[in-house]
Amino acid sequence: MTGTHTQNPVYSRLTLALLEDSGWYKPNYEGDLPTPFCNEIKHDGRKSLAVTRCTSQRDSLALCNLVPYRKELPIQFRNFAKIEGVSQDGTKHYGGSVELADFCPYSQEFEWKLPNTTIRRDSRCELEGNNREGEDILEVSLT
């Protein structure tokens, strides 16, 4: 739970602990809840390093929104002691692309727009426009 809203909120053990602390809820921690955070760099400023994965709800593809910033992030938003492939000093520049999420990187659905048009597509599997015949861009093989 953060200061931002998405169409697919993630409820983690952290969410359950917050609800329990309110005194109104007694959560069941036995279930296997996903952690919403990720640590794969989406783009290093030179090239895309994006790796797609299914969202925790298994209804769309997502990318980790961890990106480099030109300036160092404020100390309270530095979420990593180390990141694979990034120098110790360089980690001060990395964070999630959503400021309202306190720069915590998470797997985020993506959207694209065709040039010179208002048509938008996104990575949610249940949208009819994303499953047109012959357009297998989001096809995933589970073998």
Say what the pLDDT of residue 143 is. Answer: 46
- Using DSSP, state whether 77 is helix, strand or coil: helix
Q: With beta carbons less than 8 A apart as the criterion, state whether 110 and 78 touch.
A: no
For residue 15, the tally of other CB atoms under 10 A from its CB is 15
Q: 97: exposed, middle or buried (C-beta count within 10 Å: 0-12, 13-18, 19+)?
A: middle
Looking at domain 38-129, its CATH architecture is: Ribbon (2.10)
One-letter amino acid at 10 equals V
| pTM exceeding the 0.75 threshold for the entire prediction | no
Domain boundaries in the chain? Answer: 8-35, 38-129
Q: How far apart are CA 95 and CA 79, in angstroms?
A: 7
pLDDT at position 57 is: 67
pLDDT per residue, tens digit, the chain (143 aa), is 556 666 556 677 778 888 899 999 998 888 766 666 777 666 666 666 666 777 766 677 778 888 899 999 999 999 888 888 889 999 999 999 888 888 988 888 777 677 787 776 666 666 665 555 555 555 554 44
